[in-house]
Structure formats: structure tokens, C-alpha cells
A and B are shown apart, each in its own frame.
Chain A
Amino acid sequence: MDILIQQVVSGLATGGIYASLALALVMIYQATDVVNFAQGEMAMFSTYLAWSMLQAGLPYWVAFSATVTIAFVGGLLLERIVIRPVEGAPVLTIVIVTLGLLVIFNSVAGWIYSYIQKPFPSPFPSTPIKIGNVVFGAHDLGAIGITLLVLVLLFLFFRFTTLGLAMRAAAQNPVSSRLCGIRVSWMLGLGWGLAAAFGAVAGMMVAPVVFLDPNMMGGIQLYAFAAATVGGFSSPVGAVVGGILVGVTENLVGTYVSFIGTELKLTVALAMIIIVLLVRPTGLFGRTVVKRV
């Protein structure tokens, strides 16, 4: 029983990380209808920026907020400069552009910082917290807490601010929003900025666990895709629940189903994607989009 609880807890921790990246994916998808393949690499790059600042001797939380701010501005600029020219192009063209960004970020990070893994500090104490026989890593709990905090902030922003309302409107019906005086194009930019900022948070939370290297986001991005699919691409809450579900399932299946072990762990996440897509293509929390013919 203790092992079960332990596995669930560590599943929750990894799930929290998947959830925050999935959240970033869902946000860009909702605001722009584009899946940003460079999301993970943008997060990785932001984390390297944080690492540089920490090396320069800045206190953790100063570096943290500076990184989030830079990521926000960077995401906004990327949309304005790189994505804007292809805004009206077919989806595949935009997909290729984000793939281009993916390889650029990956390669530039490797060039500047080399491919050697670097340890990244956690802001939380390293002593584990013990309740009964179950051990909670302080960093894991902190990562979950921060993910939840981000989600609440996001919810409040979209639900109670005019800007949040404008962003939702711009995504849902660009033409009418434009007629109401919303600057739709800038709303897309803001969406990218916010997503980049959340990606940066995710990166800084995951780096102490997997170590910092230019390819660290590869696997995680995948699980984030799985999480977003399971939860539904149209629902931020779904992304978080999906992330946690994927994290926990992955851990439990890896522990209890012997032929899967760690070798086929990734395949489990993928099987989850396919099953959800077949049974309920919009995801657990997604809404079915009714299209007019």
C-alpha cells in the first residue's frame, strides 16, 4: 500500500510538470489554433537564461521573475516578428515555421551552453517530507503548488479581466472581435507571450529533476502532448487534469506491469493518446466544436 501511495505521489509530481507545459500548449492553441512545436524548446531556452542569471549571482526568485518576464516579452516578439508574416497561411506552413523555431532554439542552446548536462538548483529545501511511511520530495510538492498557482492566476485572468475576455473573444470569433475594436492580432501575440512565460515556469520546475541540457524537453513535450490530448485541447483545466493523469498512470504502469517496465513507458503515454482520441476525440474536458458546412 505504501508503495502504491508513493508511486501515486511521484506520479503527481511529474504530472504537475507535464501539466504546466500542457497548459502552455493549450493556451496557444486556444488563442491561435496553432500547436506550437517549439513550446518545449522555448521553455528550455528560458531555463538556460535563468541558469546564466543564477551563475551571475542573482538570488533565485529574482532570476525566476526576470526569466518569466523575459520569456513573456520574447514570446510576444516571436509572434510579432516570426509568426505574423504567415498568420494567414495554411496551418501546415505555420507548423513548419514552429518546427524551424524548434531546431533553431535547440541548436543555439547547444552552441552557447554546450550539450553537457548542468545541475539546476531547486528553490525548495532538499530534505524530504515524511508522512507515515510515504516520502514526499519537497521539490515535487513545490512544483505541484506552483502549477496550481499558475492555473488559478490564469483562470482569474481569463475570467475576471477585460483583457482576458478580449483574448477569449479574439480566439473564438476574430472578425466580430475586430469589429468590437479588439486588436485581434495583438491578442495572438499576448497569447504567445503568456504561453512562453508559463513554459519558462515549467522549465525551471523540471530542470532540477532531469538536469539542464538542450534536449531535456524532448520527452516532456511528448507527455505534455499526451496530457493536452487526454484533457482536451480546448480546456486549461483539462490540461492540468490530463497532465496529472498521464504522470500517475505512467508511474503505476511502469511499476506494476512487469513487461512494460521503463522501456515501454513512453509507449504507454502514446497508447493513452490513441485510446482517448478513439473513444473521445475532444478529450475528457473538451467541448465538441460544431462546424457549419
Chain B
Amino acid sequence: MAARGGTAAEPKPAHAAGAAISAPARAGRWLGPIALVALIAFALALPAFVSGFRLYQFTQVLIYAIALLGLNMLTGFNGQISLGHGAFYGIGAYTAAIMMDRWNVSYVWTIPTAGLICLIVGFLFGRPALRLEGLYLALATFSLALAVPQVLKYFEEWTGGSQGIVLTKPMAPFGLKLTEDQWVYLFTLGVTLVLFALAWNLLRGRVGRALVAIRDNHIAAEAMGINNALYKSVTFGVSAAYTGIAGALSALAVAFVAPDTFNVFLSITLLTGIVIGGFATISGAIWGALFIQFVPNWAQDISKAAPWAIFGLFLIGFMYVMPRGIAGFLHMLWIRLSRSAVGRGKGR
């Protein structure tokens, strides 16, 4: 998909080569890192400008971005459609909540534990799901998403039933003068950066190519020596781990978990996020997260009576205008604007 956007091979008329191309090409090479640094600086400075509910919304954007990145690994890069990632999000959130509430474990430890538990659950689920493709996998994961809230309610002793569990927000450590919301935001930002860096390394190299190869033609991939079964189930695990970590962070940010938060609509929202953000792209996770966090609110502002109808119109409209998602659209725009070989790799 967007990964194939490189136009390096495009022949150029001889007289147009030289200065006309190399200037934007040089600019293009630096534009990525500069934009990245600017983005991180902006994200770090954000708590100084916004606070309260607005800051909480941005924390939520980061959390969604992690979950979307996880889902995009599985669905976008590896071609396994999941309608059940809300389940892993829920498992992660409950892992954190139970550890903090029942066992008084520090919140810092809940994040890796949630990731590890979801890694195992995801791997175990991904193993039998190897036999399923496309629609059938979508249905199997869909049923997972539906079952989780019910199961959570059933084990009332642990999960507090439909009442859920109320948590306290973590305090800033080392006597830093930060409010709890600000600290949760910065903590989430740190986790997000680490996870994005890991994913970037994973997906840009050999492993990423193997995943895309399996998606595009799994028989050819097998013939080239890729262990399909192993790659697919490990991808399922890693993807679930990302989403589980996002869930654990959301438990910290909201300071409350309840089974019905993790319903099937969450799974659908996540899937919507990766398609809107950009299928099989890393930057798409951020665009998608911004979309699913803010667009429902705008829809609410436009029409109090039927906000979801507006959201639905947005969804369909986006699919008409940008069938490859926001990241794909920006990538195309960049290629159009520069009209040269500089676009290579910007899609992610």
C-alpha cells in the first residue's frame, strides 16, 4: 500500500535533472527528522498550554495511537483483520486495575505486565486463528470482542462486576511540581515514544517486509523461507500487547474501569481509526487517534440530536475522498507537490 509509494524509478527528462530536483530532495531528507523533532517538542510542551479536560483528551489521543499502531501491525501490515482489539484493550485495562486495586502494585509495573499478559493471550488466540482468513478471522475476533464484557462481569469477585473498579490517579514522582493529569500525560507520552520507536525499527526492516510479504501473497512468502505460522501468531501477540498497554494506560488516565467501556464499539472504533489514519502506515496511527478522539466531539457540536449520524457521514466521506487514509493522502500530496524522487518512504 503506502509502502510502495516510492517513485525513485520514475524516469526524468535529462534537462530537468540537477538543481531542480536535488533541492527538494535535500529538503525532503531533512524534513522528516525535523518534523519529528518538532512534533515531540510540541507534545512535550503541551501541558504548559492546555490543562484539565483538554489535556486528558490529548492523553487519550496518545493512548489510542498506541492501540492503533498495534492493530495496524496486525491488520495493515500483516493483513489479518481484527474486529476484537477492544478485548485486548479491556484485558490490559483490567490487568492494571486489578493489580493496583487488589494488590497495591505500583502503576509503573502494571504497564509491562499488561503488555506481557496480552502478548500471551494474543499469541494463544492467534495460533488457532492461523487457519482463518479475511471474513472468518474478522468474525472470530468479533466474537472475542463481544464475549469479553460478559466474561468480565461474570468474574465479579475480581473485576467488581458491572460496577467496575475506581482507581486513584498516580502522583508525579521525585517531588515534581506537576498535577496528576500532567504526570499521566507525560508518562503516557514516554511510553508512546518508546513503543513507536520499537515499532518503527520492527516494521521498517526485515520483519516488516516479511509481514507485508505474508499479507500480499502468503504462499510466495512461505516459498521465500518466511515461517508464516510463527510470524502471524507472533504478530498477533505483539499487536495485542500494544493494545493491552494502551488499555492499561487508559485505566490510569481515566482512573476507572467498567466492563461496558470495552464493548464491541471500541473494537469497531479502533478499526475505523486505522483505516481513516492510513492502512499499513506508522504515522497513520496518530492521524487515526486524532480522528477517533476529536471527530465524535465535533459531530456532537454540529448536531446534538444525531451526533453519530454526523460521525457516520464523516466516515463515509473520508473513505470517498481518501480511500488510503489520511497518511496515504498526505503521502500522495507530498509526491504531487515535490514531483520528484523525494517522496520515498514519507508515507509512513
Contact = CB atoms under 8 A, between A and B. Distances in A.
Contact of B307 (A96, A101, A107): A107
A93 B317 CA distance: 11
Given A278-B131, A281-B131, A111 B315 contact: no
Interface string B295-334: 0000000000111110111111001100100000000000
Can you list the 10 inter-chain pairs with the closest CB atoms, starting with the nearest?
A104-B312, A270-B143, A100-B315, A107-B308, A107-B309, A111-B306, A103-B312, A100-B316, A100-B312, A107-B306
Majority secondary structure, B binding face: helix
A101 B81 CA distance: 20
Interface string B15-39: 0000000000000000000000000
Interface string B126-156: 0010011011101110111011001101100
A222 B313 contact: no
Majority secondary structure, A binding face: helix
B323 A100 contact: no
A3 interface: no
Interface of A: 29, 35, 82, 85-86, 89-93, 95-97, 99-104, 106-108, 110-111, 222, 225-226, 229, 233, 263-264, 266-267, 269-271, 273-274, 277-278, 281, 293
9 contacts: A85-B320, A93-B323, A96-B319, A99-B315, A107-B312, A229-B139, A269-B143, A271-B147, A274-B128
Contact of A97 (B308, B309, B316): B316
Interface in B150-183: 150-151, 153-154
Contacts of A226: 143
Given A92-B279, A233-B135, A277 B140 contact: yes
Contacts of B279: 90, 92
A92 B275 contact: yes
Given A107-B308, A108-B306, A111-B306, A35 B320 contact: no
A96 B320 CA distance: 11
Contacts of A90: 279, 323
The listed residue with most B CB atoms (<10 A of its CB), out of A95, A106, A225, is A95
B111 to A, nearest CB: 29
A71 B229 CA distance: 44
A138 B138 CA distance: 37
Contacts of B312: 99-104, 107
Given A225-B139, A277-B140, A263 B309 contact: no
Given A82-B316, A103-B309, A110-B306, A274 B140 contact: yes
A269 B144 CA distance: 11
A264 B154 contact: yes
A266 B139 contact: no
B99 interface: no
Contacts of B128: 274, 278
B305 A111 contact: yes
B315 A270 contact: no
Contacts of B319: 86, 89, 93, 96-97, 100
Nearest to B269: A99
How many B residues are at the interface, by size bracket? Answer: 35 or more
B341 interface: no
B219 A293 contact: yes
Contacts of B313: 100, 104
Given A103-B309, A229-B139, A277 B132 contact: yes
A35 B142 CA distance: 13
A203 to B, nearest CB: 19
A271 B151 CA distance: 12
Contact of A91 (B134, B136, B146, B309): B134
B262 to A, nearest CB: 14
B151 A281 contact: no
Contacts of B271: 92, 95-96, 99
Nearest to A101: B312
Contacts of B150: 263-264, 266-267
B131 A35 contact: no
B214 to A, nearest CB: 14
Contacts of B121: none
Contacts of B309: 103-104, 107-108, 111
Nearest to B318: A96
Nearest to B81: A92
Contacts of B203: none
B57 interface: no
B107 to A, nearest CB: 31
B124 to A, nearest CB: 13
Contact of A270 (B146, B154, B268): B146
B159 to A, nearest CB: 13
Contacts of A89: 319, 323
